Chains A and B, each alone.
Chain A
Amino acid sequence: MITINNISKSYPKQKALDSVSLEFLSGQSIALIGPNGSGKTTLIKIILSLVKPDEGDITVLGQDISTSGVYRKDIGYMPQITRFPENMTVRQLFRLVKDLRADISSTSYDLDLYSAYNIESMNAKPLYALSGGMKQKVSAALAFLFDPDILILDEPTAALDPISNERLKEKIRTSYEKEKLVLITSHILSDLDEIVNHVVYLMEGKIAFHKSIEQLRLETDETRLNKIIVTLLQQMEHHVENH
């Protein structure tokens, strides 16, 4: 569903991505992990055209993303930090976004998270009055609202309480079981355990590996994702030392 071809991006003081090529298919749920500054958020932002790559091209559902913004109709995005206009209320925000997506009829809205998080009860609240966790709930409900085929979630669980966290994970699971594509970045590997089936590990702007969970389990004899990653990183270090 998403084909990333030789993407490079440099910022004035560092190289964020270095000839990254990836292919994501429907039904995959991909954990995009790596140390701080490894280019995860940059890659996500390039897929959304929020950041322009220096080189390379990306197609989403067969459409070259540099030609028009229409391809984003199939993507639900939950950003890392969300700041909303201060004076708007939650209700107005939802109305605005629905208004902007007039192509989707109100009968096909996906209101699972909206009702699970009881967004209705925050409706009259101005957005500046929301706590970090509440903002993340609003952001998650918005990302899933139009039932998109591709979901891109940047650190979705960072500020959520345990129950809301479980609800989101449940939602992610049902999404890729419905043959959608889910792309998640997170530092909390234990959160990713039951909701991803592929792992992309980025290191200094390059792909260290891109493998399915089963394959990784076979290679490392571990079941938990954090154990798998630690074992693999140790193997890679040995590899470097031996050379």
Chain B
Amino acid sequence: MWKITNYILRDLSKSWIIIGYVLLLFVASWGVFSIENEPDKAILNLLQILLLLLPLFTLVFTTIYYYNSLEFILLLLAQPIDRKKIYRGFAMGLMGTLSLCLLLGMGIPIMIHFPSNQGMMLLLCGLLLTTTFVAIALFLSSRLSDKAKGMGAVLLLWSFFAFLFDGMLLLFMYQFGAYPIESAVLAISFLNPIVIARTSVLMTTEAAAMLGLSGAVFKDFFGSTLGFTVSLLAFIGYTTLFYSLSWKNFKKKDM
């Protein structure tokens, strides 16, 4: 299994798209730190970039790479290695490479300019978002054998997580603003990994003070060890869930 992971890593490290992704992250992070005087604000700007760029790139790249690798996976499947090991090696390779990209592209600037709790939280959330979205993309693409359909589903899902979810949540909050819905909103926000990441990072910065009264519930929760643990478990849960579902698809797949 590690051999396959290793080869995927090496194959991907030569891909110009991956190199471009690292450079983009690096330039954006370095740029934000040079423009912004207050590192706390810089972290918030980086958070915005990360939340927009990372899920989209991870989903699209994983999907394309999966479909392009099918013939190669076929070659591996003809070897005396169990399907499960090949699949696990493949998924680990993707998760590992994309995590490494983040550590190189965003981790280095953060470590140089602002090695702090906030920075660590941002990186941690970035890594967890990476594994979660790789798993989600693998789930969709192993389910749909048509490349165009797979890509369509992935983009639709991304727009849901990135825009539609927030819109729907706001609508919900306006409609039921008169009721004590903070706990409900808290629970709902756990349905979207992007929101979990955003809130977790936000809570470590001073911007948390500006959340107002209803933000107090969030601050109490996400600011606590319990909140951190629950967020972490949610990410791990999503990754495991979608990875297992994708393996279930792949296991019975006719190559």
- Chain A residues proximal to chain B, CB less than 8 Å: 11, 45, 48-52, 68-73, 75, 77, 79, 81-88, 92, 96-97, 99-101, 103, 142
- Give every chain A residue within 8 A of B80 (Cβ-Cβ): 69-73, 101, 103
A53's nearest neighbour on chain B, judged by CB, is: B254
When the two chains form their complex, are residues A72 and B78 in contact, meaning their CB atoms are under 8 A apart? yes
Report if B15 contacts A (CB, 8 A): yes
Among the listed stretches B66-74, B122-130, B180-188, which one makes contact with chain A, having 4 or more residues with CB under 8 Å of it? Answer: B66-74
Q: How far is the CA of A103 from the CA of B11 in the complex (A)?
A: 24
When the two chains form their complex, are residues B83 and A49 in contact, meaning their CB atoms are under 8 A apart? yes
When the two chains form their complex, are residues B69 and A45 in contact, meaning their CB atoms are under 8 A apart? no
Q: How far is the CA of A97 from the CA of B254 in the complex (A)?
A: 22
Report if B79 contacts A (CB, 8 A): yes
- Give every chain A residue within 8 A of B15 (Cβ-Cβ): 87
Q: How far is the CB of A86 from chain B (nearest CB, A)?
A: 8
Q: How far is the CB of A157 from chain B (nearest CB, A)?
A: 19
- Give every chain A residue within 8 A of B195 (Cβ-Cβ): none
When the two chains form their complex, are residues A84 and B75 in contact, meaning their CB atoms are under 8 A apart? yes
- Chain B residues proximal to chain A, CB less than 8 Å: 3-4, 7, 10-11, 14-15, 68-69, 71-72, 74-83, 252, 254-255
When the two chains form their complex, are residues B72 and A85 in contact, meaning their CB atoms are under 8 A apart? yes
Q: A69-B82, A79-B75 known; 17 other A-B pairs, CB under 8 Å?
A: A48-B78, A51-B255, A69-B80, A71-B80, A72-B78, A72-B80, A79-B74, A79-B78, A83-B71, A84-B72, A88-B7, A88-B11, A96-B7, A97-B75, A97-B79, A100-B3, A103-B80
What is the interface of chain B mostly: helix, strand, loop, or mixed? Answer: helix
Q: How far is the CA of A71 from the CA of B79 in the complex (A)?
A: 9
Most buried by A among B15, B69, B71: B71
B255's nearest neighbour on chain A, judged by CB, is: A50
Q: How far is the CB of B71 from chain A (nearest CB, A)?
A: 4
Q: How far is the CA of A85 from the CA of B69 in the complex (A)?
A: 7
Q: How far is the CA of A96 from the CA of B79 in the complex (A)?
A: 11
- Give every chain B residue within 8 A of A75 (Cβ-Cβ): 78
When the two chains form their complex, are residues B79 and A101 in contact, meaning their CB atoms are under 8 A apart? yes
- Give every chain A residue within 8 A of B83 (Cβ-Cβ): 49, 69
Q: How far is the CB of B10 from chain A (nearest CB, A)?
A: 8
A72 touching B69 in the complex, CB below 8 Å, given contacts A50-B254, A85-B11, A96-B7: no
When the two chains form their complex, are residues B77 and A49 in contact, meaning their CB atoms are under 8 A apart? yes
- Give every chain B residue within 8 A of A70 (Cβ-Cβ): 80
Q: How far is the CB of B58 from chain A (nearest CB, A)?
A: 20
Out of A86, A92, A99, A142, which one reaches B3, CB within 8 Å?
A: A99
A97's nearest neighbour on chain B, judged by CB, is: B79
Q: How far is the CA of A87 from the CA of B77 in the complex (A)?
A: 20
Q: How far is the CB of A72 from chain B (nearest CB, A)?
A: 4
- Give every chain A residue within 8 A of B255 (Cβ-Cβ): 45, 50-51
- Give every chain A residue within 8 A of B74 (Cβ-Cβ): 50, 79
- Give every chain A residue within 8 A of B14 (Cβ-Cβ): 87
When the two chains form their complex, are residues A51 and B81 in contact, meaning their CB atoms are under 8 A apart? no
- Give every chain A residue within 8 A of B82 (Cβ-Cβ): 68-69
Q: How far is the CA of A31 from the CA of B3 in the complex (A)?
A: 36
| 12 A/B residue pairs, CB under 8 Å, sorted by A | A49-B83, A50-B74, A52-B252, A52-B254, A69-B82, A70-B80, A83-B71, A86-B68, A88-B11, A92-B10, A100-B3, A100-B4
Q: How far is the CA of A103 from the CA of B79 in the complex (A)?
A: 12
